[in-house]
Chain A
Amino acid sequence: MRPAATGVLQMEYEAFREEVRDFLRQELTEELRRAGSMMTSVFAEFNATMAWHCKLHARGWVAPDWPAEHGGTGWDINQFHIFQEECKLAGAPSVLPMGIQMLGPMLIRYGTEAQKAHYLPRILSGEDIWCQGYSEPGAGSDLASLQTSAQRDGDDYIVNGSKIWTSYAHHSNMIFCLVRTSREGKPQQGISFLLIDMATPGITVDPITGLDRSVEQCQVFFEDVRVPVANLVGGENEGWAVAKYLLEFERGGQNYSIDLKKQAARIRRQAEGEQGSDGLPVLSSAVFQARLAELEIDMLALEATELRIKGAVEAGGNPGALSSLVKVAGTELSQKFNQLGLDAVGEQAIPFQPDALDPSAEAPFRGPDYALTAMAEYINNRASTIYGGTAEIQREIIAKHVLSI
């Protein structure tokens, strides 16, 4: 579990926890809480997400793990964990990860001084909303085979091609993209990393309807899109290292265990509310108890692993290939929780009530509130072992870079 904190230090952490709770009591409105508790994927409803982002920013807490000089908090690993835990358990919506969690740390490491000075404050303030242009229709697991091209023309690149699975592109004003700047050598050697303004002529966005019939993903098309060379991050043809560094944060930067705790708490509530076929609460069934207990034990093991990795990062390392371990274990465990959640609520999972999941609509819904998100979570979370590198790709990374086989 957590590194032992005793005496004065322990008291400081408790005081810090109180400070976070005070903030949540003051700023987390009922509507924002609803948005957080009705999340059926990694994203909360967009307007609520940005409203929460602004409140965190006003307090200086929107990017707590960035270095203090760039707008982070300077918290240690325990404080960071306490903060995330309190936010989640209070039902706060998540902040969009593309700017804060993915692009920001990457720019801090690889960006020019001018790029940092321009983009980092705009990520913090929420003025720029970023999306991630990595996958292409023909390049998913085999990301390095990507074909979207950027051809040098004076002080610009001219970009042509298409990106897919671009989460929230329809809400974003900026996109960071992997583009092909060379076809020489290995595919990885001809890739560059570009920052592109979505308002540039030649960009179109097609929303993709998901299985729950809502839109989170998009396909983005680029036709002769001019991008200033100054928007290159890292050197030309050196984008692969940048991309990989960012992916490690995408995969490992999350605290899956905190989300899992929230899931476990929700399942307990569902299983207390619902009666099984024997007329007793589902939670009183020995079959169900054993399944939930087993999953919670896996959750504790994952939490301990996340803290080990965070400790290493705090000591100056980066998550490296271990981020793949956390990603596979966290997402697959979360999917098992979803499955158990379906079993807990039984037939109450099947009514389709998309309006009831919109926190701003305050639409009436039928049935118990504990069952409202169970099916959408089960459906939407299937994507978690696909995006950010599939579970199969993550296992290859672990085999290659951790086990050296």
Chain B
Amino acid sequence: MPKIQITDTRGLEQKVGTGVVIDSSVDSTLNMDVHSVITATSQHSEAGKLSVKIEKGIHHYPIIHTGPADAGSLATGARTLTAVNLSKGHCTVTANATSVAVTMPTKAHIIDLFGGSSNITVGDSIEWSLHNAGTTVNQSLVLTANTGQVVPANIAGKVGANAADASSATVGGSSTGIFKTRVTNVDGSTKTLRLA
């Protein structure tokens, strides 16, 4: 099998092996399409020194993301999230009681979510948000553990109602929580942190 290697010192070479190796800078003036994983770690990665950088120029911050439409409310009342739900990145549930459980997916769903048992890796993480579409004050969503899934305690696991008035004593903050779920075991166990 041919392996293509390009270096600054010797130019283009064909060797035994597979894949393409470029030991040099690469400039693409048009699009770059990668149909699998993009890995962006420095060979010299070390603790306390950031090594992954996406240079977007000085004019703007946001990256345009192409993705699916919002799925709408998944349930009125308790809901167990699925791989498909989390893959959308934004889950909406409508609280209809004081504390409505939104249960993390099963291990099997987590494995599916992260590409199946051949791909799931400890350290793989996603950020996702949970919105409470309920409008009644004091009816919160409560993120709840499933087997193997660790979730935050107390208000870090709660998402308040999307009530009409944000300035009264009983309605404050946002009705959407942002979470990060990180794989801690390839059996589908995770730990979830509240990011905002």
Do A and B pair up? The answer is: no
Query: A: which residues have CB within 8 A of B?
Result: none
